[in-house]
Structure formats: C-alpha cells, structure tokens
Amino acid sequence: MNFNKVMFLFFIGICFSYGQNTSNHLENSKPKPNYRLASKFSPENISKLVHSTTVNPHWLKNGNRFWYQYKTTKGSNYYLVDADRKSKIQLFDNVKMAKWLTEITKDPYDAQHLPKFDFKFVKNETAIRFRVTATEEVEAVDDEKNTSSKKDSISEKSSKRGKPKMERKVYHLEYKLGDSKLTIIDNKKEDEKIKRWANIAPDSSIVLFSKNFNLYWMDKENFLKAVKDEKDSTIVENQWTKDGVKDFGYGGNYYGENNESMEEKKDDRKGVWGVWSHDSKKFIFQKSDDRMLKDLWVINSVSKKRPTLETYKYHMPGEQEFSKDELLIFDIPSKEIVKVQLDTVKQQSVSVYRAPRKKSTYDDDFSPSLLLSKKGKIYFNTISRDRKKLDICVADIETGEVKVLIEERFNTYIESRPLVLFNNEQEMLHWAERDGWAHFYLYDTNGNLKQQVTNGPFHVDNFEGINENERVLYFTANGVNKTIDPYYSHLYRINLNGTGMKSINAGDFNTDVSVADSNKYFVTNFSRVNTIPKSELKSTTGALILNLEEADLSQLFATGYKFPETFVMKADDGITDIYGVLYKPYDFDSTKVYPLIEYVYPGPQTEAVSKSFSVNMDRTDRMAQVGFIVVSLGNRGGHPDRSKWYHNYGYGNLRDYGLADKKYVAEQLADKYSFIDIDKVGIFGHSGGGFMSTAAMLVYPDFFKVAVSSAGNHDNTIYNSWWSETHHGVKEEKDADGKISYKYDIDKNQELAANLKGKLMLVTGDVDNNVNPGATIRMANALIKANKRFDYMIMPGQRHGFGDMNEYFFWLKADYFSKYLLGIENTNVDMLEMNRDKPKG
C-alpha cells in the first residue's frame, strides 16, 4: 500500500471520528423532555405547595378595622386588624374553634384543618356568623313546604316514593368575639336563588325583577314570602311594563343559555340591572334594542342526549346594524316612566356613572348600585361607534333633559375611567389621555376646567380615594420612577392644586393596594416575579403601621423551584424598551442548547407579562420544565399603562403590529445567551395569543418553526365589534345625503395560509361563545385549500377557557413542542403524567 493511500485512509478515519464526536456532542447538547418535572408543577400539585400569597382585607364599618384569612403550610389563620391601635390579633383560637365545631357537628376537626369560613359580622361587629356543612345526612327541606297542608302532602308523596331525598345538615353558627362558645342560630341553608333575581331598593321598600322580558315589582311583604318560598301562590307580583320583548326588554339576560333551557326558564323571575337614586324613589334602567343584530350559534354535542343549539346576538365589526340604547327613569311612587333625551339616531354606547362602592360593604348581602349624584342628577357618558368622540353628560332626573359637560376627541380610540364627584357635588375629577399620557383633570360641575391635577410622562391608572378636607387625591400610577419597570404600579398622593405628589408605597416592586373608606390607611401587597410576596399595612402618609404577612414558599422551593429572570431589550425600532421574563427549566444545564418558546398575548388591552409573583405557572414556568427556555415579553401596541403612543401603536394594523418586536427580542436573547437555539423557536398563545401565534408563523415563516394556537380570533371580521373596532379602527363615512355608514377592513390570518412552512396546531372549544369556533374553522379551511399539513383539535363542550380540559391541553402542547423542537415524540396512548398519580378505583 503506497504512502498516499495510507494517508487518505488515515484522513478518512479522522474525519469519521470527528463526525462521530461532533454528532455525539450535538446530541449530548440537546435537552431531553422532562415530563416528570413538568408534572410536579400542575395546578393541583401547586395548590398543595403554595397557599396564600396576598392579604385580602375585609374592611369593617366601625373604625379602621379589617379581617383577613391567611393560609400557610401549617393551615389557615384568621386575623382582626385595628389600624388605629396598630394591633393584629387572631379572630379566634383555632384549637378552641376546632373543639366547638367537633362537639356541635359530631365531625372531627383540629386546629390545622378547619373548614373554609365565609364570615358575616353582626351585632355592631361584635360577633361573626357563618355556616358549616356536616357529613350527617338529614331529610331535605323542600323550599315549597311552608304550610301544614303542604307538609302533609309532601310527606304523603315521600312515603309513596319510598326513600326520602337526603342532604347534608347545615349549621348556621354565631361566635361572639372573645367568647368561649359557639351558638347555633338555625339549620337553614343560604338561599342563593333570591340573589339572582331580586334588585332591592336601598330602603328595602320595593324589589324589582324581570319576567318575560318585562319589568315587575313586589313590595317588601311579598318579597319576604319569596325568601321563605319562591313558589308561594299568595305572592303578589305587579307588572310595570308591557312592551318588553326578547332582545329589547327589561332584563332577563339569556347569554350562555341553550335554546332548550331558555325555553324551560322563560317564565322564571330573572334579574334586572340598573341604578337607584339614593332616596329609593327613582330607578334608572338602560334599555338596549338588539333586535336588528344578527344571531350567532354554537352547538354543544356532549351536553344532553340530543346536541343542543345555543343562539345569541353578536355584533361583528363593520356591520351596519348597531344596538340602540335608551335611558329610562322609573319613578317608584307614581310608576311613571321618563326618557333621558338621547339622540337615538347616532350609533353610540351609553354608560351611567355610579357611586363608588364602599369597601366596608363588599361582604354585604345587599348592596344596591347607586347613582353618582345624590342631588337629582344622572351623570353618564356617550361614546361614538368609532370610539373617537366621548361626551360626559348630565341629565335631570325629573325631566330627562341633558347637558354636555366635557368633550373628548382623538384620532384613535378614547378610553375612560369613572367620573369622581366631590365637594358637595361642586367639583369633579375627569381622567383623560389628551396630552398622550393618562392624567386627572379638575372640573367644576358646570363643565369648566379648573386645572390639570397630575402632569408628566407617566400613566395615572385608577382613582383610589380623596380627602376632601385636606384636598388630597390618592391614585395608582405607572412609570413615575424612571429607574424601575414602568409596569410596576404604586400608590400616590397629590394635592388637588397639582403640588406635593408623593409615592406612599415606593419600592422596586409591583404593588396592589386596598385603601380604607376613611382614606387613612391602606393594605399593600408587593412582589416581583422573582421575590417572595409580602403584605403591609401603611398610613396614607406613607408610614408603616404593621408588617402583615410574608408568603410561605418553603414547600415550593423544596421541590426545586427557581425564580424566573427579568430582562429589558429593544423593540424592532431600536429605541423602545421592551420588558420581559425568561423562564428556565429547574434542571437547567448550561452545557446544553435549548429551543426558545414565546408565550404571547398581544392585548392591546393588556400584555401577558407577569410582574408579580404568581402560582399560575402553566403557560410559562411549567412549560419550561419540559425542556425549553420560555419567554413572555411585551410589544409596541401592547400594554395600556405606558404612553398612549405605545398603547395605540397597532391601531390600523391589528394583525402584524407586535410580531417584529417578538422576533427581534428573541434574536437579542440568543445573542446574549449561548444556551438559546435561535434555529428552534416556538410560539403559543390563547385567544388574542392564538391569533398572534398563527400570524407569527405566517408573517415570519422562516423564523418561527412551531406554534400551538388556541381559541384564536384568526378572522377579526367575525370577532366582536367592541374589541376589533376599538383597537383596529372603523371608518365613519357620510354620503351626499348625510347618511352615515361604517367601513371596516383588517388583515386576516387565513390570507397568508400559503406562507406556512412550520408545524401548526389549531385548537378551539366547540361552544366558545366569545371567540366563535368559526374563526378557527376558517383558518383550517384556508390551510386545506393551500394544501398545507397542520394539526387540529376540538375541545368538546368547552367555552373560551377550556374549563376542565386545561390539564389535557397542557400535555397536548407539551407533546407538540417536544416532537417538533426536541425531536422526541410521545407515542403512548395514555397521558401518563395525568394518570400516574391518580388513585385507581
């Protein structure tokens, strides 16, 4: 063998060896799907590891006091806090409560395993009442038996039937604070049916309800009969209106009812929603004529023996028909009806301003909706169909005469917040984005601007309270501190003359607050995605009153949980900051290279980027455990809590506006982190995210390789007009005769079906009455006509959120991304990770 041949064979051997080593190296650098790790963090398992993470204060009426429940791995405790006294005590002794409940119900309890209580404070807030359901079964109490003759009749029927209907015994209990016993009040269940239809006047003198789409009323005496027995034949009902019909009636909403159940319940009492005057003499009802709107349908194939049809009104963008709103003033003493003088020819939406509800009434069984004004005025707004013209108006409650107080005009859509009325109804605060940022403006009640209260390049979010004597406003805002994430919300105070603005819960955290009715104190819950949540009680001067709680994450960390990482990258314009969160597998190996998956929801009414710690992990943390780097990030045209420019960036381009930022940020992340494989990028989302993830596959078909798109509004011409016409825009046109029409044009996902190169799965619930399944079906139809292979799944009997099939859907996504991004297909017929830990019956 000559020298050249030997060298050639030697070279071939080296190359072969190198190729093998390279192949082995590449194979070893790939992560393998870790289903077992992902299964540890199912919602069911998380509920065993993490309990309370925030304090939800139930403010009381007497003093600056509240109670709250907080659960840790040691069980639940209930606390009573008095802010004035700077005290926090247990509402009761858990050991003693367990003892009393055991003695009364004959069911065993201990201090760590008490039932979940729903308290009502009674007797001037010196005692609490609650119900407990025992395991003991007793004969069911029939709601209809209130007389001896009925009892005899029912007993006779029961004996004929044989075995009586049984139910668990209920104990209605009272505990006097500081006492050494529980008292049994009665054994009655709480009646939830009455709450569904009774609209009780503030003074309890009259109750309104809807029946056969008309307004009815009954007096207090007859309502008390209904409380005891809804079907009591002696109840006197009084019909007030006779012109109510389906889709142009007085209450009786049927949304979510199928055609069969709607027919079965047609004669039932139903709720009627409206606003009361403070003196109970007037009731304001907004009557909408929806008859001209077209029907939409879904069919539930798994509900009954025969598949059931559900028909509902649904206004699609660009349709010329529109709901016509009337405001009617019902006079309770005289039973007269006065119309508010609205222009019913205009296509506009109407909204009545309501008095803010006191937090100390949140637990009340009875809390009527009240007008903003106590002085015979109805404050409301109208907004044009194209959402570019907002008028704030006031109507006289006796005559219905209307005066326009404030006008807002903009070239994109106008957003609004509740009007604030104060200073004996001499002044009002109006929220607007007229200078490109959201701020409060001070007006007198004649509509004269007094001054702008807040000012600057930041976003005022919500009104939280006002101290009228000191003329101090409390509000939440974003982006005031330019050194922290602009999405972090904080509570501020400012003088109404625009001076003295101060953050009163400052910190590099996102916060959520509950301000007492007195405006003296507030509870603040604060965290980031990578910190342990904490809760404090503070005064509205900013002083710390009490440290309340720190979340117990000990069991979560024991499983190997690790906080995600936050990042800031540039948008595709190279200027705008985009904020996001990066989630790694908890068994992350820096020597491996991971596919990247983006979880998206484009808004524009919000962005799906977590800012506070949360245990809702399915779409981010948990998906990463399968073997991916998962990121969620904003995009221009997303979150409303930045500038109006940022929020309205996608106006007129609602399909493509966020995609360039999603792609460009992914590329920057791959440049920064060597463990990201930029050649394997997946994307998924639900609803607007389902729409966006499919759009990404079609607009950037060489970049995004795999998508799972669920409940997507792929064709926005058949999604609801409120969202589509607001955020994309609808054009108002007037012809030579002055007739107005509306033109709507938007890019649809199915127009780009021929662009598909990667792997796409489409999923929809078959009774989704929000984003109709038709949107997903149209996308599938376009892909079929373009001769594309794709995957398609229907979730039977599911609405927009997929309900009890969410866990199945998680593993469906995991399988899909594992197959096409990790190269490993799970072919087992059984969903092993769903079945493995279930008890076998």
- The confidence band for 832, taking pLDDT boundaries of 50, 70 and 90, is confident
What pLDDT score does 807 carry? 95
- Asked which of 94-98, 292-296, 603-607, 608-612 is least confident by mean pLDDT, the reply is 603-607
Neighbour-count burial of 586, counting CB atoms closer than 10 A to its CB (0-12 exposed, 13-18 middle, 19+ buried) = middle
Helix 688-699 and helix 659-672: axis angle, to 10°? 70
Strand spans (E) along 235-323: 238-239, 275-276, 282-289, 295-300, 308-313
What pLDDT score does 395 carry? 98
Residue 252 pLDDT > 50: yes
pLDDT (tens digit per residue) in 213-235: 999 999 999 999 998 888 899 99
Strand order in the sheet with 420-422: 420-422, 427-432, 439-444, 449-452
What pLDDT score does 822 carry? 97
DSSP-derived secondary structure letter, 804: G
- Report the chain's terminal Cα–Cα distance, integer Å: 74
Residue 802 Rama label (left phi>0; alpha psi -120 to 50; beta): left
Give the percent of the chain with pLDDT over 90.
84
Contact 219, 193 (CB under 8 A): no
- The confidence band for 13, taking pLDDT boundaries of 50, 70 and 90, is low
Look up tokens 């001499």; give the residue.
426
- The confidence band for 250, taking pLDDT boundaries of 50, 70 and 90, is very high
- The mean pLDDT of 519-529, rounded to a whole number, is 98
Go through the domains of the chain in sequence order and give each one's CATH number.
92-190 (no CATH), 564-835 (3.40.50.1820)
What pLDDT score does 189 carry? 85
What pLDDT score does 836 carry? 81
Instruction: Give me 662's structure tokens.
Output: 């999603």
* Continuous segment of H or E residues that includes residue 526: strand 521-527
Residue 838 pLDDT > 80: no
φ, ψ for residue 739 (rounded to 5)? -75, 130
The SS3 assignment for 310 reads strand
- Asked which of 12-16, 31-35, 374-378, 686-690 is least confident by mean pLDDT, the reply is 12-16
Neighbour-count burial of 178, counting CB atoms closer than 10 A to its CB (0-12 exposed, 13-18 middle, 19+ buried) = exposed
Give 525's contacts (C-beta < 8 A, 6+ positions apart).
Answer: 53, 54, 55, 511, 512, 513, 533, 534, 535
Residue 487 pLDDT > 80: yes
* Continuous segment of H or E residues that includes residue 133: strand 127-139
pLDDT (tens digit per residue) in 305-318: 889 999 999 999 99
What pLDDT score does 27 carry? 62
Instruction: Give me 168's structure tokens.
Output: 């668990």
Give the percent of the chain with pLDDT over 70.
94
What pLDDT score does 193 carry? 63
From 737, 839, 841, 837, select the one nearest 41 (Cα to Cα).
Answer: 837
Look up tokens 């976003």; give the residue.
459
What pLDDT score does 152 carry? 46
Strand order in the sheet with 324-331: 275-276, 282-289, 324-331, 337-339
pLDDT (tens digit per residue) in 134-162: 999 999 876 444 434 444 444 444 445 56
Residue 627 Rama label (left phi>0; alpha psi -120 to 50; beta): left
pLDDT (tens digit per residue) in 169-197: 999 999 999 999 999 999 988 876 667 89
Question: Which string of b and e fits 746-768 if b means at least 16 CB within 10 Å?
Answer: bebbbebbeebebbbbbbbbbbb
Sign of CA dihedral 818, 820, 823, 829: positive
Averaged pLDDT score across all residues of the chain: 92
Strand order in the sheet with 87-90: 58-59, 65-72, 75-82, 87-90
What pLDDT score does 770 carry? 95
Q: Within a 10 A sphere around the Cβ of 571, how many other Cβ atoms? A: 21
Contact 492, 513 (CB under 8 A): no
- The mean pLDDT of 631-640, rounded to a whole number, is 94
pLDDT (tens digit per residue) in 401-460: 999 999 999 999 999 999 999 999 999 999 999 999 999 999 999 999 999 999 999 999
